[in-house]
Amino acid sequence: MKWLPLIALIVGGLALVLRGEGPMIAGLSDQDFASLLIGGTLLAFIGTSVLAGYRGRLGTALKHLGVWGLVAVCLMGGYAYKAEVVEFAHRITGELMPPGETQNVEPRTAGERAVRIRRRSDGHFVARVTIGGASIPTLVDTGASTVVLRAADAKAIGLDLDKLSYTVPVQTANGLAYAAAVRLGQVAIGTISIDGVDALVARPGALKESLLGISFLRRLKSYEFSGDYLTLRG
């Protein structure tokens, strides 16, 4: 049997060479016929080699064939339901990642970038934000009109606290306080990046956590709270 593919290749090649300028072979053009001939020969050669290896072991051959058939069905099923598979994978990885770490999400439109953040154990959403090359945790606060940085976080991103002017009145839970107005060159969460974001810097000890407020959120395409996740699209 191992000679049959070679014989078929020789016969087909001779038919292709000797036919001259006649009509198509079996309704196929020269290129299609040659591709079919070579591909069929390779498959036949592999098939006969496999059969030769399983000679006298029909049961084993059928078992292995069933396994590979099942693998093929799973691959085709995965491709047919790839959107659902991707969403399921995102849900699993989202459960495993720590709160504040971003996870990329499938974009809805061309050019869109989207990330997802998991809720912290206390019920709040904390996003790890990159500013000036430094990564700082910020509490997502839709009630804050702007981004507000702790003094320590402002120092970590390279701001000189001694040169700041704390003249902006801010109403806090503890009463009226004053903060310094700054403009951040770039604020990034995962793959989403916003340039020129207005922010405030709180006095040392006045703020427990930096806040990611509306001055950043309004620059996004959308943000959505759904269950234990916050999805940002930009």
pLDDT at 131 (0 to 100): 93
**Count of C-beta atoms within a 10 Å radius of residue 126:** 22
| 108 and 214 both lie in a single domain | yes
Q: Is the pLDDT of residue 223 over 70?
A: yes
Q: Which of 71-75, 116-120, 136-140 has the lowest mean pLDDT?
A: 71-75
Q: Is the pLDDT of residue 28 over 70?
A: no
| 8 and 39 both lie in a single domain | yes
| 133 and 194 both lie in a single domain | yes
Q: How many domains are contained in the chain?
A: 2
Residue 129's domain comprises 99-233
pTM: 0.58
Q: CATH number, domain at 112?
A: 2.40.70.10
**Residue 120 forms part of a structural domain:** yes
Q: What residues have CB less than 8 Å from 30, skipping those under 6 apart?
A: 16, 24
| 118 and 224 both lie in a single domain | yes
**Count of C-beta atoms within a 10 Å radius of residue 200:** 25
| 114 and 157 both lie in a single domain | yes
| 205 and 117 both lie in a single domain | yes
Question: Which domain-ending residue is among 80, 108, 140?
Answer: 80
Name the pairing type of β-strands 192-202 and 147-149.
parallel
Measured at the alpha carbon of residue 143, what is the angle toward residues 137 and 147, in degrees to the nearest 5? Answer: 45
Q: Which amino acid is at 60?
A: T
